[in-house]
Amino acid sequence: MARPRKTVNALQGAYTKEALKERVKREKAITGGSDNIPPPKFIENDEIALEEFFRVVDELKKVNIVTNVDSVMLGVYANCYSIYYRATLEIEEQDLVTEYTNKGGATNAVINPYIKIQQQYMASLMKISEKFGLDPSSRAKIAHLQPSDKEEKDDPLMALAKKMTAANG
């Protein structure tokens, strides 16, 4: 499997001015703005999902990870969170094991169906959260791609990239 591409800020090595300029231009073209991140329509009537959506968007804006095009994926995350949350509340109110009467009339003890819902949506939450750096492991990966302050000050390539970004800005 190929390694993930690094941003211009995280590049190390010898790159030509033209290559850096082109790379900065391509990154800007796909990044987009973060000035308009409305919740998607499918969570408009879900208070829990809306609250989580806005909480996550606010946090991701602080670290410049989220853009306008991330709205739907963050909506999916918020929807999964809402369902997970509601399943957890149901589990708290009910027993972990419930009785089920089958077609033959026999009664069996079965695991509460909300546990399965909770597990499925937790798995979805974990997958989506990795994409946005919402768990410690993925934040560490993102942090690894970001240069340290010392690297930025000492790296003439970084200085050139910043100048080009400001000039094209």
Those residues with Cβ within 8 angstroms of residue 74's Cβ, 6 or more apart along the chain or in another chain: 37, 53, 56, 57, 60, 66, 132
pTM for the predicted model, two decimal places:
0.67
pLDDT at 7: 55
pLDDT at 18: 80
What is the residue-level pLDDT of the chain in tens, covering all 169 positions?
Answer: 555 555 555 555 666 778 777 777 776 666 667 778 899 999 999 999 999 999 999 988 888 788 888 899 999 999 999 999 999 999 999 999 988 899 999 999 999 999 999 999 999 999 999 888 888 777 777 665 555 544 445 556 566 666 666 666 5
